[in-house]
Amino acid sequence: MDTLEHAIERAKAQLQLQAPRVVLTMAQTGLALVVNRLQTEGLKGRRYSTSPLPKFFFRPTNAAGRDYVKRSKKPTYAGLREAQGMETRFVNLTYTGRMLRSLAPVPAGVVASIFQARIVASDAENAAKLEHNRRREGDFLAPNAAEQREVDTYAQRELDRIIQTELNA
Q: Read off the pLDDT of residues 146-162 as tens digits, 9 standing for 90 and up.
A: 999 999 999 999 999 99
pLDDT tens track for 98-139: 999 999 999 999 888 889 999 999 999 999 999 999 999 999
In this prediction, residue 1 carries a pLDDT of: 55
Give the start-end residues of each E strand in 35-139.
103-111, 114-121
**What dihedral angle (degrees, nearest 10) is formed by the CA atoms of 10, 16, 20, 23?**
90
90, 122, 160 from 39: Cα distances, Å: 9, 20, 33
Residue 168 pLDDT class (50, 70, 90 cuts): confident
